[in-house]
Structure 1
Amino acid sequence: MLFLVVALLLLGLVVGTAAYLPWPLTLVLGSLIAVWLVVFAGRERRRRSRTRGV
């Protein structure tokens, strides 16, 4: 859960500073955060499906 909070805070920071950053850098940072969120969601889904079978 902490990872999700940090990722969302970073996303807010990047979106808030997007007006001051060059577009390529904004897109790269946004993509990195999106990948981080997808990996987090995958790990959570895998963990929940593993505990359901027990």
Structure 2
Amino acid sequence: MQRPTLFLTVGLPGTGKTIAARLIEAEHNALRLTKDEWMKALFGPENPASAS
């Protein structure tokens, strides 16, 4: 069994973190988790105050 690997992307806005994460997700059959997607799922896109 292969050991799990955790990939973290960190950087300034507009530097390609999302693009890199999507490439990693595709190349490694990985699960990509983002705060924004979780907050939208939990609180809905119309309620950003609850997501902060």
Query: When the two structures are superposed, what TM-score results if normalisation uses the length of structure 1?
Result: 0.35
Q: Greater RCO between the two (CA within 8 Å, min separation 6)?
A: 1
Larger Rg: 1
Query: When the two structures are superposed, what TM-score results if normalisation uses the length of structure 2?
Result: 0.36
Q: Which has the higher helix share?
A: 1
